[in-house]
Each structure stands twice: as C-alpha cells, then as structure tokens.
C-alpha cells in the first residue's frame, strides 16, 4: 500500500492531553533505561534508529528528549550533513556503514543514507536511474545489518506541516536562543516542499522492506511519545536476558 502524506495527520488526535503525554513519556523512558542496560549487557542485538524529516520537524529535540536520559555509554548519535570531498570519493554508503551499530548499542542517525535519494534528487544531483540503483543498495545494506548483525532498524519520518515548519523557522530568527539554528537556506528549501514530498513518497515505496513509521510532528511531546513507544515495543520483542556469571 502506498503512503500518502497528505492523508496523514500532522497533529495529535482531538482527545490528546499534553500533561498525560508527559507522564506517559516519563514512565516509558524509565523502562527504556532498564532495557537499554539489558541490551548492552547481553550484547547480542543492536538498534539503528533512523530519523528523517523536513527542516524544523524536530529531529534534534526528539533525540534529546527520548534518548538523552539513557546511559550515554550505550547510545551514539551521528548526524549526516553534506558529504566531504573524501566521502564523495567513495560510494555513497561508505560514510554510513562505518557508523552502523555494534551489538549492544543504540545508534541514532540524524538524517541518513536517505539524503542520497532525497536532497540529491530535488537538486538534480542524481538522475532517476542512479536513484533506482541507490534504492536497491539501501535495501541490501539494511538487510545486511538485519541478517548479519542482529540489528533492529527503526525508520521514522517526522511528519510536520508546512505551516508549522514556517512558524518554527520564523522562531529561529526571532528567539536569540535559537539564532544558532537559523539557516537562510531553510526557507528556500521549503519552497521546494512539493518536490520533497514527491521524493519522500518514492522513498517510502521503494525502501519499505523495513517499514517506515510516520510520526505526526506538529506537537513535540506527542511526537516523542510515539517514538519512545515504538522503541519500547522493539526492545521488549527481543526477549533479552542478563548473562549468567562467567565460570
């Protein structure tokens, strides 16, 4: 079934309660802390969390508020920006693969290998034929991690509305504490909104061997709760156990 972002809400349901959501999130994070410790101790599985979304969709905040209270020894975050000249001299997955998680770890990608079939297409840096080859390479790469390193991959798209995005970008210009986030190119990129939606839809369709989770992102706490719930469910499904005493 094809994903149609225009038919998916960007806001919480009408019965959403912000205080209740905060309370639920706090409880889940306490559970996640215990399970992450178990993941690290058992050392048999790894978790790769991929977070994609338009500018100002709240990727940084989600990482801070969901994962920031876990033991930093067991969590790593890698942000992927425009590739360097060295990275461009290799295949597009070279810079990605070296940050894949070792067993026992939770690795978070703030943006990811999907940028190489998103922004590159919107800006005409790769053609459709190249993108098709990259879709296949991405599917193979993710399957490799799943089958050969016991890696559970969670792929989140933070679904923010363009109206909410504009409000947040405006806030970056007006709030002195957020000036550091301001990038004049962000508004220019927002003008390509429809182009980005088109390539995202193709991503969801072509790279769905491991399914995407679409997260309504106009309200931050609700967004963070959904991410935390998905991670909690995944960790519980691993049926992990602490190792016995070494003889």
In three-state secondary structure terms, 136 is helix
Q: Can you give the pTM of this predicted structure?
A: 0.96
Q: How confident is the model at residue 2 (pLDDT cuts 50, 70, 90)?
A: confident
The tally of domains found in the chain comes to 1
Domain assignment of residue 113, yes or no: yes
Domain assignment of residue 12, yes or no: no
Domain assignment of residue 2, yes or no: no
Model pLDDT for residues 135-165, shown as the tens digit of each residue: 999 999 999 999 999 999 999 999 999 999 9
Residue 247's pLDDT is 59
Domain assignment of residue 8, yes or no: no
Q: State the average pLDDT for the chain.
A: 96
Residue 1's pLDDT is 58
Domain assignment of residue 207, yes or no: yes
Q: How confident is the model at residue 58 (pLDDT cuts 50, 70, 90)?
A: very high
Domain assignment of residue 211, yes or no: yes
Residue 19's pLDDT is 96
Residue 43's pLDDT is 97
Residue 55 near residue 170 (C-beta atoms within 8 A): no
The span from the CA of 247 to the CA of 244, in Å, is 9
Residue 67's pLDDT is 97
Q: Which residue has the tokens 């550091």?
A: 180
Domain assignment of residue 155, yes or no: yes
Domain that holds residue 210: 20-237
Write the DSSP symbol of residue 242.
P
- CATH of residue 71's domain is 3.40.50.300
The span from the CA of 189 to the CA of 184, in Å, is 9
Domain assignment of residue 7, yes or no: no
User: What's the first-to-final CA gap in the chain, in angstroms?
Assistant: 52
């Amino acid at each position: 079934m094809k994903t149609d972002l225009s038919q998916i809400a960007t806001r919480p349901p009408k019965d959403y309660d912000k205080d209740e959501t905060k309370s639920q999130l706090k409880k889940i994070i306490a559970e996640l802390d215990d399970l992450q410790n178990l993941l690290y101790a058992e050392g048999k599985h790894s978790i790769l969390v991929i977070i994609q979304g338009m500018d100002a969709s709240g990727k940084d905040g989600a990482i801070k508020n969901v994962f920031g209270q876990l033991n930093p020894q067991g969590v790593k975050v890698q942000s992927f920006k425009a590739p360097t000249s060295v990275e461009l001299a290799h295949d597009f997955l070279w810079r990605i693969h070296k940050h894949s998680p070792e067993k026992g770890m939770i690795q978070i990608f703030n943006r990811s290998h999907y940028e190489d079939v998103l922004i590159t297409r919107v800006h005409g840096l790769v053609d459709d034929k190249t993108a098709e080859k990259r879709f296949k390479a991405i599917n193979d790469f993710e399957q490799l991690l799943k089958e050969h390193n016991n890696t559970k991959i969670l792929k989140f798209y933070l679904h923010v509305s363009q109206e909410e995005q504009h409000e947040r970008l405006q806030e970056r210009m007006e709030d002195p504490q957020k000036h550091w986030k301001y990038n004049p190119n962000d508004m220019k990129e927002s003008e390509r909104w429809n182009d980005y939606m088109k390539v995202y839809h193709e991503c969801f369709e072509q790279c769905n061997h491991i399914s995407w989770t679409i997260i309504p992102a106009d309200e931050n706490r609700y967004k963070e709760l959904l991410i935390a719930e998905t991670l909690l469910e995944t960790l519980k499904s691993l049926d992990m156990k602490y190792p016995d005493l070494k003889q």
